Structure 1
Amino acid sequence: MTKIKKIAHSYQSVYFYILLVACMATVFGFNLGAMLSSKVRLINIFMLEIYDIDSMVNTFMLGSFVGVFFGGRLVYDTGRVQSVIGSFSFGVIGQCTAILAPTFSTLFITEFVVGVSSGVYLISAICYITELSPKERRGTCALLIPSFAVLGFLISVLLKDIIPRNDILVVGCLMIAAVPVVIVSYLRLPESPRWLALTDSSDKALTELIRLRNSTSEAARELAAINECVLGDDRGITMFFRNSVFRSIVWFFLFIVIAANLSGFAIIPYMSLEIVKSFKAALGILPPNEKYEINFLMLKSVLFAAFIGCVVSCLMADKIGHRRILLITGTINEVMLFGIYFLYFTGSALVGPALMSVCLLVFCLSSVIFICTFLFLLLPELLPVKGREFCLTIIFLVQITALMLGIYFFNRFIHSQGVLMAVCIFMMAGALLFTLIYQGMPEPKNQMLESMENTIFNERSLKAINKTQNK
Structure 2
Amino acid sequence: MPIQSTSNKQYKKIVYMICLIGALGGLLFGLDQGFIANSLATIDHIYELTTTQGEHYSAVLAWGGILGALLSGIFARILGRKKVLILSGFLFTLLSLVSAFLPPLEILIACRFGLGFSVGIASFTVPLYLSETAPTSIRGGMATLFQLMITIGIFLIAFTNVMIVKALGHFEISLSLMFSVIVIFALIMFIGSFFLPESPRWLMLKGKEDKALKVLRRVRSSEKEINDEIAEIKESIIENQGSGIIMLSKGYFWKILIVGVVLQMFQQLVGINMMIYYAPTIFGYAGMTGIIALLAIPTVNMLFTFPAIKWIEKWGRKKLLYVGAVVMMVSMFTAGFAFLVIANGGTTPGAVPKAILLISAVVYIFGFACSWGPVAWVVCAEIFPLKGREIGMTVTTMINWTFAGIVMANALSFMKVYGNASIFFVFGGFCILSMVFLKFFVPETKGVSLEKIEKDLEHGVKLNKIGQR
> TM-score with structure 1 length normalisation?
0.78
Aligned equivalents of 1:325, 1:241: Cα separation in 2: 26
Report the Cα offset of residue 241 of structure 1: 1.8
Relative to 1, partners in 2 of residues 1:312 and 1:338: Cα closer, same or farther, differing over 3 Å? closer
1:299-337 CA deviation, whole Å, 9 max, x = no partner?
Answer: 311010111133444xx35x8528726633540441342
**Identity between Structure 1 and Structure 2 (%):** 20
Q: Which of residues 273, 298, 302 in structure 2 aligns to 1:303?
A: 298
Aligned equivalents of 1:423, 1:171: Cα separation in 2: 31
Contact 2:85 2:122 in 1 (8 A): yes
Match in the other structure for 1:327: 319
Q: Which of residues 191, 195, 198 in structure 1 aligns to 2:198?
A: 191
Report the Cα offset of residue 124 of structure 1: 0.9
Q: Which of residues 438, 443, 446 in structure 1 aligns to 2:446?
A: 443
Match in the other structure for 2:330: 338
Deviates more, 1:397-406 or 1:416-425: 416-425
- Give the secondary structure class of the aligned counterpart of 1:321: helix
The yes-or-no answer on 1:42 pairing with 2:43 is yes
Aligned equivalents of 2:179, 2:334: Cα separation in 1: 47
Report the Cα offset of residue 74 of structure 1: 1.1
Relative to 1, partners in 2 of residues 1:95 and 1:172: Cα closer, same or farther, differing over 3 Å? closer
Q: Which of residues 220, 227, 241 in structure 2 aligns to 1:220?
A: 227
Match in the other structure for 1:99: 100
Structure 1 unmatched ranges of 5 or more: 279-285, 446-451
Aligned equivalents of 1:272, 1:37: Cα separation in 2: 9
Contact 2:100 2:175 in 1 (8 A): yes
The amino acid across from 2:355 in the alignment is A
Aligned equivalents of 2:373, 2:39: Cα separation in 1: 26
Relative to 1, partners in 2 of residues 1:421 and 1:362: Cα closer, same or farther, differing over 3 Å? closer
Q: How does 1:12-23 map to 2 (within 5 A)?
A: 12=12, 13-23=14-24
Q: How does 1:171-182 map to 2 (within 5 A)?
A: 178-182=186-190
Relative to 1, partners in 2 of residues 1:344 and 1:109: Cα closer, same or farther, differing over 3 Å? closer
Deviates more, 1:215-224 or 1:399-408: 215-224
Q: How big is the alpha-carbon RMSD for the aligned residues of Structure 1 and Structure 2?
A: 4.0
Aligned equivalents of 1:409, 1:334: Cα separation in 2: 24
Aligned equivalents of 2:187, 2:306: Cα separation in 1: 27
The amino acid across from 1:43 in the alignment is D
Contact 2:10 2:218 in 1 (8 A): yes
Report the Cα offset of residue 37 of structure 1: 2.2
Match in the other structure for 2:436: 432
Aligned equivalents of 2:38, 2:438: Cα separation in 1: 34
Aligned equivalents of 1:277, 1:198: Cα separation in 2: 53
Aligned equivalents of 1:185, 1:91: Cα separation in 2: 13
Q: How does 1:27-176 map to 2 (within 5 A)?
A: 27-134=28-135, 136-160=137-161, 161-162=163-164, 165=173
Match in the other structure for 1:283: none
1:416-456 CA deviation, whole Å, 9 max, x = no partner?
Answer: 8945752552332231354368x5132269xxxxxx55555
Match in the other structure for 1:448: none
Aligned equivalents of 1:217, 1:466: Cα separation in 2: 34
Relative to 1, partners in 2 of residues 1:344 and 1:247: Cα closer, same or farther, differing over 3 Å? closer
Q: How does 1:181-260 map to 2 (within 5 A)?
A: 181-187=189-195, 189-232=196-239, 234-235=241-242, 238-244=245-251, 246-260=253-267
Structure 2 unmatched ranges of 5 or more: 166-171, 342-349
1:386-438 CA deviation, whole Å, 9 max, x = no partner?
Answer: 5444332211110111122223454538828945752552332231354368x
Match in the other structure for 1:5: 5
1:364-383 CA deviation, whole Å, 9 max, x = no partner?
Answer: 13313434424655544665
Contact 1:34 1:157 in 2 (8 A): yes
Match in the other structure for 1:412: 414
Deviates more, 1:390-399 or 1:191-200: 191-200
Contact 2:93 2:186 in 1 (8 A): yes
Match in the other structure for 2:374: 373
The amino acid across from 1:104 in the alignment is L
> TM-score with structure 2 length normalisation?
0.78
Aligned equivalents of 1:132, 1:380: Cα separation in 2: 19
- Give the secondary structure class of the aligned counterpart of 2:198: coil
The amino acid across from 1:230 in the alignment is I
Report the Cα offset of residue 97 of structure 1: 1.0
Aligned equivalents of 1:140, 1:295: Cα separation in 2: 36
Aligned equivalents of 2:307, 2:45: Cα separation in 1: 38
Contact 2:99 2:111 in 1 (8 A): yes
The amino acid across from 2:320 in the alignment is I
The amino acid across from 1:357 in the alignment is L
